[in-house]
Amino acid sequence: MTFIGMPRGTGNLTGAPFPEAASEALDNAQLRRNLAKATGTIRAKRAAVVDELPDWAALRAAGAAIKDDVLANLDTYLLRFEAALTERGSTVHWARDAEEATRIVTELVTATGAREVIKVKSMATAEIGLNEALAAAGVAAVETDLAELIVQLGHDRPSHILVPAIHRNRAEIREIFAEGMGATDLTDDPRVLAEAARAHLRRKFLTVDVAVSGANFAIAETGGLVVVESEGNGRMCLTLPRTLISVVGIEKIIPAWQDLEVFLQLLPRSSTGERMNPYTSVWTGPTEGQTSHVVLVDNGRTATLADPDGRAALRCIRCSACLNSCPVYERTGGHAYGSTYPGPIGAVLSPQLTGIDRNPTLPYASSLCGVCYDVCPVAIDIPSMLVHLRGRAPKPRAEAAAMRAAAWAMSDHRRWRRLLRAGRLGRALGRRPMLPPPLSAWTRARDLPEPPRQTFRDWWDTR
Amino acid sequence: MRVALFVTCLVDGLFPDVGKATVTLLERLGHEVVVPPRQTCCGQMHINTGYAAQAAPIVANHVEAFADADVVVVPSGSCAGSIRHQHAEVAREHGRPGLADAATAVAARTYELSEFLVDVLGVTDVGAYFPHRVTYHPTCHSLRVLGVGERPLRLLRAVRGIDLVELPGAETCCGFGGTFALKNADTSTAMLADKMSAVTTTGAKVLTAGDSSCLMHIGGGLARLRSGVRTLHLAEILAAT
Ligand code: SF4
């Protein structure tokens, strides 16, 4: 159900058709090695810290229930959040879509006269294409998350929610840093690379006066925003500059402070495989001498909320466990999904936000193996949602005709048995026939089973 | 017990030996097998490819075919999964609440083969003899949709003469995924390649699983590679003496 006027998601949410983009990525052996290694390590860490919690199932159910309550009462919670935050001295802005959100932020930044902003790692700003919009206005956005910095200096795109440079290995990172920072004395040692990034960023922290952040959670009761991170660079951005602009998807709401108890257990264990992440920053309105703006972004979320089969996607806390566990993601990497949100959740969320017509291939980018549902800390049944989305996806004509014919045969046993008997004639084709597309996709890499002399049912009748 | 066999469309048309083995096994355990004549397909391919509307009459046919059965046994994790977790919803979504109730009732009496043997009959030693090195791939839908867990392995461990070896990365999808294998053929093949190398490292001569569909995919790849590894459905090993 979509109501007239409900904004659809715009910005960085679409790309080339998945099958073609995936084929290209699959040809990159280095990428596959990097991904297999990185996701394998993080999967093992996650499994260890999740298995040690006796009440994981209860925590997961609680996380899902809290988010479902938020989604059912989102209007109330958002207004409560706005009122609390306004009272604490922040200015709240509302943005329908990517264009409106980037325009608001760009105007706020240019009003300060700044030519540079420092950024806390944020999915929402990537989704709306903020860096590109700021660049067009002559403002440089500097990413301060180490992996985001690698992506930015490499003129690359993020390929993972949590580790945007997961497709890069150390040697590649050294080259990117050498080029991007003009550093000549680097080695592949992670400590050396981290030190180079630290020196580079320290200069920015001390000179840039505007920061842009996202938020992992927005607390309706208090107006508080929460950023969960590993490096502490986000905290530098949140505290040093005099202007802080936070871009927050409207589904990031949690009702109250105490709900963090649940999510701060679910999130780090699911994302980095840690019991607790090193830095959790919570701020409620501006600190003394600071100006704070919060931009609440819809960009297709209300439309997603209106869809009973799709709204659970808004529970997502962007932990990336589903990406790390997905056998498709592990082989294709994140770029193949063409959206800020890759992996299983991206295959659901991107078409939900943009509408299926702008993302028709993503719902099929899954073997429906179900491992994403198993690991999701807020129990999003991604496979079932993919199946629902497939129901709405535009279908190739020949496929639709074949499926209609098959359904006609399969809904009556006499027709079906006649078809199967005819199929035995396929014996003449042998095991490696040249089949027309799309069936040729099967025989490129696999032999066909030889059709038997007799179907099971014909055998049964002779017994 | 009188057991209604839902043989599945794939086994009926392409792998009749799996159906015959299921019959042999159940009869050897002392049960009467019937094959309700109206059965065709569970409709899963249509549902999972986005053709739930076309699947609704297939679901209706299935429910009618098995309406009178006391217990239904399926030699497929994914077909059992579809019957249990999709049929009623498809019926409801297409405005057939009566069919949805009937589908729920049939689903409640439907068991995947290893579930039926272990949970309903309470046997793990089915009296099989199979003197070969075997490795087992837990198919995704048997593992995650049905949750068959260790049941197939318990049945296999009780087979006399078997040399059962563990498959590395067993729980990773083989890349079949129904029409996924055609729509995303290159990704499917990449997943298949990794599964096949896991299988060949075990030195097993036979790869087994509870779904003929995944076995058709992995077996087709293994045959193309001339790997010397055969694929056999779990029922075929359990029926062997
Ligand atoms: S869908 Fe679930 S597992 Fe995937 S990123 Fe979101 S919360 Fe994490």
pLDDT of residue A436: 65
Statement to judge: residues A261 and A147 lie in one domain: yes
Statement to judge: residues A266 and A415 lie in one domain: no
Statement to judge: residues A268 and A139 lie in one domain: yes
Q: Given CB atoms, is B180 within the 8 Å cutoff of chain A?
A: yes
The dihedrals phi and psi of A370, each to the nearest 5 degrees, come to: 90, 0
The residues near A65 (Cβ < 8 Å, ≥ 6 apart) are none
Contact assessment for residue A154 and residue A148, using Cβ atoms and an 8 Å cutoff = no
Q: How many CB atoms lie within 10 A of CB A436?
A: 8
**Residue pLDDT, tens place only, B82-135:** 999 999 999 999 999 999 999 999 999 999 999 999 999 999 999 999 999 999
Q: Whose CA is nearest to atom 8 of ligand 1?
A: A319
Q: Which residue of B has its CA nearest to A381?
A: B145
User: How many Å lie between the centroid of ligand 1 and the Cα of residue A119?
Assistant: 23
Choose the closest CB to A19 out of B140, B184, B219. B184
Q: Find which of B186, B191, B194, B215 to mutate to test the A interface (most A CBs within 10 Å of its CB).
A: B186
Within 6 A (CB) of ligand 1 lie A 270, 316-322, 345, 375-378, 380
Residue that terminates a domain, selected from A271, A302, A333? A302
Cis peptide leading into residue A342 (ω within 30°): no
pLDDT tens, position by position, for chain A (463 residues)? 455 568 899 999 999 999 999 999 999 998 899 999 999 999 999 999 999 999 999 999 999 999 999 999 999 999 999 999 999 999 999 999 999 999 999 999 999 999 999 999 999 999 999 999 999 999 999 999 999 999 999 999 999 999 899 999 999 999 999 998 888 788 999 899 999 999 999 999 999 999 999 999 999 999 999 999 999 999 999 999 999 999 999 999 999 999 999 999 999 999 999 999 999 999 999 999 999 999 999 999 999 999 999 999 999 999 999 999 999 999 999 999 999 999 999 999 999 999 999 999 999 999 999 999 999 999 999 999 999 999 999 999 999 999 999 999 999 999 999 998 887 766 656 666 666 667 788 888 899 888 898 999 999 999 8
Tokens coding B24: 């042999």
Statement to judge: residues A279 and A417 lie in one domain: no
Among A70, A316, A324, A382, the mutation site with the greatest number of ligand 1 atoms within 8 A of its Cβ is A316
Statement to judge: residues A409 and A269 lie in one domain: no
User: How many Å lie between the centroid of ligand 1 and the Cα of residue A64?
Assistant: 11
Distance from CA of A29 to the nearest CA of B (A): 11
Decide: helix, strand or coil at residue B4: strand
pLDDT of residue A88: 97
Question: What CATH number labels B133-239?
Answer: 3.40.50
Q: How many domains does chain A have?
A: 2
Tokens coding A51: 């298995």
Contact assessment for residue B209 and residue B15, using Cβ atoms and an 8 Å cutoff = no
- Order across the sheet with B2-5: list the strands: B32-34, B2-5, B72-74, B110-112
Contact assessment for residue A361 and residue A18, using Cβ atoms and an 8 Å cutoff = yes
pLDDT of B205 strictly over 60: yes
Domain assignment present for A68: yes
The residues near A188 (Cβ < 8 Å, ≥ 6 apart) are A170, A171, A174
pLDDT of residue A437: 66
Contact assessment for residue A14 and residue A354, using Cβ atoms and an 8 Å cutoff = yes
User: How many Å lie between the centroid of ligand 1 and the Cα of residue A382?
Assistant: 9
Distance from CA of B15 to the nearest CA of A (A): 7
Decide: helix, strand or coil at residue A219: strand
**Residue pLDDT, tens place only, B24-74:** 999 999 999 999 999 999 999 999 999 999 999 999 999 999 999 999 999
Residue with tokens 């919009």: A133
CATH code at A72? 3.40.50.10420
Q: How many CB atoms lie within 10 A of CB B172?
A: 20
Please, what sign has the CA dihedral across residues A153, A345, A295, A272?
negative
Domain assignment present for A430: yes
Distance from CA of B130 to the nearest CA of A (A): 23
Q: Find which of B54, B94, B187 to mutate to test the A interface (most A CBs within 10 Å of its CB).
A: B187
A-facing residues of B in 128-167 (CB < 8 A) are: 140-141, 143-145
Give me the interface pTM, i.e. the ipTM. 0.96
User: How many Å lie between the centroid of ligand 1 and the Cα of residue A314?
Assistant: 10
Task: Provide the residue range defining the domain that includes A207.
Answer: 22-302
Q: What is the CA radius of gyration of chain A?
A: 25
User: How many Å lie between the centroid of ligand 1 and the Cα of residue B82?
Assistant: 24
Pairwise CA distance, residues A19 & A13, whole Å: 17
**Pairing mode, strands A210-213 and A243-249:** parallel
Statement to judge: residues A200 and A51 lie in one domain: yes
Statement to judge: residues A86 and A233 lie in one domain: yes
Pairwise CA distance, residues B101 & B89, whole Å: 10
**pTM of the full structure:** 0.95
pLDDT of residue B97: 96
The dihedrals phi and psi of A347, each to the nearest 5 degrees, come to: -65, -25
Pairwise CA distance, residues B235 & A333, whole Å: 37
pLDDT of residue A450: 83
Size of interface A-B (CB pairs under 8 A): 186
Contact assessment for residue A310 and residue A389, using Cβ atoms and an 8 Å cutoff = yes
pLDDT of B182 strictly over 80: yes
Ranges of each domain in chain B: 2-120, 133-239
Pairwise CA distance, residues A138 & A205, whole Å: 20
Residue A22 with chain B: CB contacts under 8 Å: 184, 186-187
Contact assessment for residue A121 and residue A234, using Cβ atoms and an 8 Å cutoff = yes
Residue B236 with chain A: CB contacts under 8 Å: none
